[in-house]
Amino acid sequence: MIRTGLGYDVHQFAEGRPLVLGGVTIPHDRGLAGHSDADVLCHAIADAVLGAMGEPDIGHFFPPNDPACEGICSLEILRKARSLADAHGATLHNIDSTLIAEAPKILPHAAAMKGHIAEALGLTESQIGIKATTNEKMGFLGRQEGMAAMAVATIDMP
C-alpha cells in the first residue's frame, strides 16, 4: 500500500549556535534553538517518514527533556526513522521538502544537504527534493525570528 506522510517543524533563531540544515553547517549569523542540533529540515523529514508509517512523531523517540538527546545530530533521527521503516518492511520512495526563511540562501547548500539526507535514509539523491521559499517578510518567519520546514514522504507498506 502506498502511503504518504507530512512533516512540519519550526525553530527560533538563537545567538551562538551553528545553523545546521540537512546535516550541513551553513554560514549564518545565528543558528536555531533546540535540544538537538535543531535541524528543522531533518525534523520535518523524519516526521513525514514516521507519519507515513503511522508512528508517533520524533518527540516520542527523541524526547526534548531526555539528556541523552541533547545536541544529537538530526541525521541520527533520520537513521532511526529509516530503521523503523525497515522494521515495518516499508520501502521509502521519495522525500520532498521546503525550507521557509528569509535568509540564508539555501540553493548553494542543497546538493550537500541531499547527500547527507539520502545517506541517512538509504536513498539516492534523486529521491530527495529540497526547495526553499521566503514568507514574504510576513509573520515571525518574515521578521527572521526563526525557520520552518515542511516535508512529504512517500512509502510503500506491506
User: How much is the pLDDT for 56?
Assistant: 97
Question: In the numeric block, which cell numbers belong to residue 33?
Answer: 534553538
CATH number for the domain including 98? Answer: 3.30.1330.50
* Number of compact structural domains in the chain: 1
Confidence of residue 114 (pLDDT cuts 50, 70, 90): very high
Write the Ramachandran bin of 117: left for phi over 0, alpha for psi from -120 to 50, otherwise beta.
Answer: alpha
The gap from C-alpha 120 to its chain's centroid, in whole angstroms, comes to 11
User: How much is the pLDDT for 68?
Assistant: 92
Q: Determine the Cα–Cα distance for residues 6 and 46; give it in Å rounded to an integer.
A: 9
Please give the model's pTM, rounded to 2 decimal places. 0.97
The parent domain of residue 73 ranges over 2-156
